[in-house]
Structure 1
Amino acid sequence: MAGRKKWSDLTREQRTAVVVAGAVELVLTSIALRDLARRDADEVRGPKLLWRASFAVQPFGPVAYLLLGRRAT
């Protein structure tokens, strides 16, 4: 894997971007999980278990749930 960089190879700006992106993903996933856990099944479009599994696909799963998975209450 010639194209793979080590953490020490990254510039300070690149390291900051990685940390910020990771923090944003963590916050989005936490918000989505909390919202999903508090909603009744009839307030969610599709099976809750499937949405929970989709959160593993970062950052698309949590964003998709927050934008598309919730029914208006």
Structure 2
Amino acid sequence: MATRWNDLSATQKGVVVALASVQLSLAVAAWTDLAVRPAAAVRGSKARWAGIIGINFVGPVLYFARGRLPAAA
């Protein structure tokens, strides 16, 4: 079911823009954290996590939930 942007209502366009903003914000935050975090503080390969973060919504959430090792006390 392909719908063109011009066929969407103003509300639907707003929802799409809001969801895209959330997705982009999550991805940028996760990639930034991954870039500055030492490899020893990441569970697994940083390159693998960089690819996983690119998966819509799921990737950044997985990174924040499972990709980072707990901070040393």
Q: Distance in 2 between matches of 1:72 and 1:56?
A: 23
**Ranges in structure 2 where 5+ consecutive residues have no aligned partner:** none
Q: CA RMSD in A?
A: 0.8
Q: Distance in 1 between matches of 2:3 and 2:37?
A: 41
Deviations 1:29-57 (A, max 9, x none): 11001100111111011110000011221
Post-superposition, which runs of at least 4 consecutive aligned residues in structure 1 deviate over 3 A?
none
Aligned-pair identity (%): 37
Q: Which amino acid aligns with 1:69?
A: G
**Ranges in structure 1 where 5+ consecutive residues have no aligned partner:** none
Q: Does 1:48 align with 2:68?
A: no
Q: Distance in 2 between matches of 1:71 and 1:13?
A: 40
Q: Which residue is 1:36 aligned to?
A: 34
Number of aligned residue pairs? 71
Q: Which amino acid aligns with 2:64?
A: L
1:17-36 correspondence to structure 2 within 5 Å: 17-36=15-34
Q: Which residue is 1:57 aligned to?
A: 55
Q: Which amino acid aligns with 1:7?
A: W
Q: Which residue is 1:8 aligned to?
A: 6
